[in-house]
Amino acid sequence: MPNVVVVGTQWGDEGKGKIVDLLTDQARLVVRYQGGNNAGHTLVVGGKKFIFHLIPSGILHPDTLCLIGNGVVLDPQVFLTEVDNLKGRGIVIGPDNLRISERTQVIMPYHQRLDLAREQAKGAGKIGTTGRGIGPCYEDKVARRGIRMADLLDTDGFKAKLADILPEKNFYLEKFFLDKPFSLEEILTPYLAMGERLRPLVANVAVILEQAARQGKNILFEGAQGTHLDIDHGTYPYVTSSNPVAGGAATGAGVGPGQLHQVLGIVKAYTTRVGGGPFPTECLDKIGDHLVECGVEFGSTTGRRRRCGWLDAVVLKDAARLNGLTGLAITKLDVLTTLNPVKICVAYQVNGASRDTIPATLKELERCQPVFEELPGWTEDIRGVRRYQDLPVNTRRYLERVQELVGVPIQLVSVGPDREETIILQNPFTLNI
């Protein structure tokens, strides 16, 4: 049985949560490999609503082991609140179904304060981060002054590291941002206490994954955010600070690239983006309003209204290349119902020439004008459709054109928010490797 990586192909919020939940039935292990509580998704199971930021939604499946990889940045307070909420709703949580890598970086209170202070100082030029301390935590990781899960479990070591780091953080907070400093004690005591609560869950995740692979158990690698928010390949600097692309699953979970057998790209049937940054197909008209309203396009982490626009095949082709996509899952197709025509951006026009790749500079990307292809829309309600051949002819035409433009087969189509509102053409877990 293959392992499957699930990645967002646009700017996040593609509806990965629902597809991951659907595929988790076939996965014995689910591992998150990057990002932190900047992500978020809501699941409705048996009429009950669950919101997840850090813990994989696989935790709702009793036989699934959920793992937090070393590539994640983990806020222990948020994590433990999520654990307590789930326990309060009758979900059993312990080392049998949830593990955190000992190498996972810990988001500290100064990371969040620096994230907010920096955004405020930037004013109009701000990135529009989620304000959760994600960027500053990854900065410290790369600068080799991060606190990892293993450090939280070592009282003397943690105290020494914190004593070393804090003066620099406080200098920056007080002198540059005119903000409040932190005392050593106000961090040390609560973080050591949280470390003790987390201790039973901390493990060598790479070893767990190796053993699982040897036993032929299949693994789902769950990406957060999306390809165009990738720190290397996204619309820099309007990106997150990690690697959501499929390759990030190898480094962020601790497996060799050969373990990443299938790569399923999640594609929302239109495009959305939260925060700042270029967005060539953005609709600032009533089409944009339709997409926000019908697609309920408000962030599940920050509640912000998402910017909306037509599907962009340039963005998708880039995602196919960068991730080595083997399949597509189209989500929220029902949101396009009643729009006529429906449009797909097939290229960009810039400086009198056409191009089908994304320029590296913001300056040039901002000059890109989308070249749209128009297709006839459909008015039929598609939410009850369960077989591909029962979709209206114009809906199929739209999907087939997307598949042709991206050059990757469509494996799943989501026609509504519920689990059942899905057309499965090919389950990636059942493919031969």
228 flagged as catalytic: no
Which is nearer to ligand IMP, 50 or 238 (by Cβ)?
Answer: 238
Burial of 363 (C-beta count, 10 Å sphere; 0-12/13-18/19+): exposed
Q: Dihedrals φ, ψ of 359, to 5°?
A: -65, 155
How many positions of this chain bind ligand IMP (CB under 6 A)? 20
Cβ neighbors of 318 (< 8 A, separation 6 or more) are: 227, 228, 233, 357, 358
Nearest to 37 by CA among 49, 22, 53, 26: 53
Is residue 195 a contact point for ligand IMP (CB under 6 A)?
no
Using omega within 30 degrees of 0 as the cis cutoff, is the peptide bond preceding 237 cis?
A: yes
Out of 41, 61, 111, 233, the active site residue is 41
Cβ neighbors of 92 (< 8 A, separation 6 or more) are: 62
Is residue 132 a contact point for ligand IMP (CB under 6 A)?
yes
- Contacting range for ligand IMP; rule: CB under 6 A; set: 76-84, 125-133, 317-325, 347-355: 125-133
Which is nearer to ligand IMP, 274 or 333 (by Cβ)?
Answer: 274
Site string for ligand IMP, 57-96 (x = CB under 6 A): ----------------------------------------
> Restricting to residues 149-168, which ones interact with ligand IMP according to CB under 6 A?
none
Which is nearer to ligand IMP, 12 or 370 (by Cβ)?
Answer: 12
Q: Does residue 115 contact residue 136 with C-beta atoms inside 8 Å?
A: yes
Site string for ligand IMP, 270-289 (x = CB under 6 A): ----xx--------------
- Contacting range for ligand IMP; rule: CB under 6 A; set: 126-134, 287-295, 396-404, 409-417: 126-134
Tell me the C-alpha distance between 82 and 226, whole Å. 23
At 106, which helix (H) or strand (E)?
A: strand 105-106
- Contacting range for ligand IMP; rule: CB under 6 A; set: 10-18, 155-163, 261-269, 401-409: 10-18
> Which 3 state secondary structure label does DSSP give 363?
helix
Tell me the C-alpha distance between 93 and 124, whole Å. 43
Compute the least distance from the CB of residue 416 to ligand IMP, in Å.
21
Among 112, 129, 218, 337, binds ligand IMP (CB under 6 A): 129
Among 128, 181, 377, 392, binds ligand IMP (CB under 6 A): 128
Amino acid at 192: L
Which is nearer to ligand IMP, 240 or 331 (by Cβ)?
Answer: 240
Is residue 14 a contact point for ligand IMP (CB under 6 A)?
no
> Restricting to residues 227-266, which ones interact with ligand IMP according to CB under 6 A?
229, 238, 240-241
CA atoms in the 13 A half-sphere facing the CB of 301? 21
Compute the least distance from the CB of residue 215 to ligand IMP, in Å.
32
Compute the least distance from the CB of residue 306 to ligand IMP, in Å.
8
- Contacting range for ligand IMP; rule: CB under 6 A; set: 131-139, 160-168, 340-348, 404-412: 131-139
Is residue 405 a contact point for ligand IMP (CB under 6 A)?
no
Which is nearer to ligand IMP, 104 or 326 (by Cβ)?
Answer: 104
Tell me the C-alpha distance between 29 and 41, whole Å. 19
Tell me the C-alpha distance between 252 and 72, whole Å. 7
Residue matched to tokens 């962030």:
299
Is residue 39 a contact point for ligand IMP (CB under 6 A)?
yes
> Which 3 state secondary structure label does DSSP give 42?
strand
Query: Rg of the chain's alpha carbons, rounded to an integer?
Result: 22
13 flagged as catalytic: yes
Nearest to 424 by CA among 155, 23, 2, 61: 23
Q: Does residue 425 contact residue 411 with C-beta atoms inside 8 Å?
A: yes
> Residue with the closest Cβ to ligand IMP?
275
Among 134, 173, 231, 250, binds ligand IMP (CB under 6 A): 134
**The dihedral sign for the CA sequence 76, 82, 88, 92:** negative
- Contacting range for ligand IMP; rule: CB under 6 A; set: 20-28, 130-138, 207-215, 342-350: 130-138
Tell me the C-alpha distance between 222 and 203, whole Å. 19
Tell me the C-alpha distance between 433 and 430, whole Å. 9
Is residue 135 a contact point for ligand IMP (CB under 6 A)?
yes
Which is nearer to ligand IMP, 245 or 347 (by Cβ)?
Answer: 245
Which residues are known to be catalytic? Answer: 13, 41
Residues of this chain that interact with ligand IMP (CB under 6 A) are 11-13, 38-39, 127-130, 132, 134-135, 224-225, 229, 238, 240-241, 274-275
